[in-house]
Amino acid sequence: MNEISVDDWIDVWDVDTFDTELRTLLDDHSELIRSYWRESSRLFMEREAQTLRGPPEENIHGGAYVRLKERLGGLMERRTIRAWHFTRLTEQEVESIRLAGMQPMSLDLIQHRLAAVVGEGLLHRHDSEALYATSPFHDRLADGRSARIWLAATPYPIDDSGVRELLELWGGESVSFIHRQGRLHELLRTIGRPRILEIALPLAATTRAFSAGENVLDHYSFRLGCTGGWGGGADIVAVEPIRPDWILKVHSAGDPSFEAMARGYPERFTGVEG
């Protein structure tokens, strides 16, 4: 991972940031993309008009469209995208991330973070022990969180339901998931401040290059005037540590950019299309 460069990154939602190789591949297949979505729309309308339902008719351009997605996924493995991590951090944690980066989730990391906030006087030891003992990372969340860092390929506004609790409660889901009310819930609301980390993320450090390629294809399709696709940001799962030089910015509650996230910041972001 040491040879990865993050000097040139793209936004999966902004066609104008796509490099020449990506744009050439997409431009060369623009008629296929138009034909696929025209046929998809026709099949949808015909099926909606049917009173007797059978197996859905195949899109005659589907095979070529899937092959294009696969080629894009392969290209994206060699690219860096701008990604977003929604969380709640203390000032000490922010400084640590700037100096040493971020580590994939583990029980050791949970224990280390809890010990750090105890050391800062932000949490009593017995509450730390209770939070560790009740962490769903011991069982239900372990498979989906172990050795991973979850990010989004698209910024979300701070009041979005998908990120609101990540910003409101310290510790992330591995600490706060089961504490939706009560004393520990209120305690977690007092630790740190809401933060959004803006990261230049090499997709070689993730498991989601294909998903990022689907986003690229969706937004190029919107540029062509096609309707369809999703256009929302893929979840991106980093399976390597995030190095400090990959951290572009840390947006904290009260910063103008934090308050304007996905509603004016970053520039040219227009939200989900399609």
Length of the chain: 274
Q: Reply yes or no on whether the pLDDT at 140 is more than 80.
A: no
Cα dihedral 135, 136, 142, 145, rounded to 10, equals: -80
Q: Reply yes or no on whether the pLDDT at 119 is more than 90.
A: yes
Lowest mean pLDDT among 2-11, 27-36, 172-181, 249-258: 2-11
d(CA 160, CA 162): 5
Q: Which pLDDT tens digit goes with each residue over 204-258? A: 999 999 999 999 999 999 999 998 777 667 789 999 999 999 999 999 999 999 9
Q: Reply yes or no on whether the pLDDT at 274 is more than 80.
A: no
pTM (predicted TM-score): 0.90
In terms of pLDDT, which residue wins out, 34 or 57? 34
d(CA 22, CA 9): 13
| Contact of 131 with 171, CB cutoff 8 Å | yes
Q: Which pLDDT tens digit goes with each residue over 31-46? A: 999 999 999 999 988 8
| Contact of 97 with 244, CB cutoff 8 Å | yes
Q: Which pLDDT tens digit goes with each residue over 258-271? A: 999 999 999 999 76
Q: Which pLDDT tens digit goes with each residue over 85-112? A: 999 999 999 999 999 999 999 999 999 9
pLDDT at 53: 72
In the block, tokens 């190029």 appear at 220
pLDDT at 144: 60
- Any bridge partners for residue 149, and if so which? 238
pLDDT at 177: 83
| % residues pLDDT > 70 (the chain) | 92
pLDDT at 220: 95
Beta-carbon contacts of 192 under 8 Å, excluding residues fewer than 6 positions away, are: 88, 89, 90, 91, 93, 122, 170
SS3 27: helix
pLDDT at 52: 63
Burial degree of 35 (CB within 10 A; 0-12, 13-18, 19+): middle
**Cα-based distances in Å from 273 to 34, 73, 130, 215:** 16, 21, 43, 11
